[in-house]
Structure 1
Amino acid sequence: MLAHSCLSDQDAMSDLLPKDDGSNAVVHCEIESCSQRELVPFICEACGKMFCVKHKQKEVHGCSKLLTATDQARADRQAGLEASSKLDRAPLEAVSRPLYKTTEPPSSAKLKNDRARVTAAKLTFMKAKMSAKPAGRGASSLPSDNRFILRLAPATGLSCSTVDSPISLYFGKKWPLGKLLDYGQEYFGIKSSPGQSLGLMIIEDEIMPNLPAEMRFLELSRTLNEYACEGRVTEGCLLHIVIR
């Protein structure tokens, strides 16, 4: 037998619960539309209200203090932001490095441009090579190792009867350029005025970039082979027939 008559927790709860018929302690569910009664109530740990076994879950009885997954994620994010705002970031910033470079170094950009130019030059040359025609009857009998492929066009302003320019052709490496000028003048139907002098000029493009102005005019007495050895012309380059 106990030495004192202290009420147990169950006895204390029983005294607080309403009586149904004077013999059994029952609890009405907090849900108004529910008529279920329980001898042992289910108390929500969040809102503190009593519910039957059917409505004991927070989601079922619509607990006013229920946090959804979105609410919980938002609360966690806010707590993280508040915590990070209080951190001393100076040591971290002192040793951190950006994962991605915001600006491309000039050397890298130049390298990409150079590669693009080289690729474009190769494509231009291949197109010229595939469509090249002999520059006159003598050129058709030239061996392949003695042919020089180039593109030829009349300059703007010249009176021509042929408009399909530039044309791709092959010319003898050791032939004087005056012979090429004669062929181009005949092919394009260029009519020169009395006292007008025509010449050949290299046009700057992807094949011949950054060409100084003083090196663009070619001497008609020299050969393509001579200019190629000096690096002043390259196969596939574009020449214009111009007024000198």
Structure 2
Amino acid sequence: MELPHIGQNCDAENCNQLDFLPFKCDHCGKVFCLQHKFCDDHKCTAPAREQNEEYQGERSYSCTIPGCEKKELTPIVCHHCNLNFCLSHRTQEDHNCEKLPGRARELTKTAEHVEKILAQKEFKPKATPTNPKAIQMAAKIALMKLKTKATGDVGIPQAERVYFNILLPIESKKPPIPLFVSKMWSIGRLIDFVADKASITNRNNTGAVKKLAMFHGDTGIRLPPDSSINGLLEDSAVMLLNGSTVILECVHDSVDVLDNIKLYKR
């Protein structure tokens, strides 16, 4: 099967490099690679446009904690996770910083959880590419497709957004939905968000025998509801990536692995 043409060649003289995320010059209208995106780099000959008058009012910086609407006149950036916060969430403990020493223990527990499931079920996850370029290319292509059609909470800062292709419960007979969410969310919050977005009945806060759970789309492993999305993204044992496919299904608490993940991808 012929692969679709992705990216564009750089218009800079003697370059012609293929770039998958090219930059279009606002002055000359040509397309350039990362090394030639600025006017000086590609020796732009088009006359510079008049610059818009700069905003003279007070600038404010929003807190990246979901639900926090506080803003500060100066940026308060955590030197550990490089995200911006308000005064109330400036310390690592206040914003549950992903670089906290305790978070390392959380990642270790998640890895142990995955290994335990694989050992009990004798389930071998699908082999992943070992070539770094192949991994980067696959993730980039998946993200490019998702970003063109994904929906989500527009209040989520761009720096926090992660994209997933969500496969819904088989019995719902609903098509997959591409979504962007915050990496600061827990898997439990992701489940609630997806259920609400797709109009799926959610009985997780009741005594129901079966409850909604989120599973990895390639390995079928159940993602712990208390784990943060960012923590799982950083855990190589889980193999969850920005652009991954995940599966929402209603199951018993004893189900740790979906053995029939191929049924969801028909």
- Normalised to the residue count of structure 2, the TM-score between the two structures is 0.39
Q: Greater Rg, structure 1 or structure 2?
A: 1
- Normalised to the residue count of structure 1, the TM-score between the two structures is 0.42
Report the structure, 1 or 2, having the larger helix content: 1
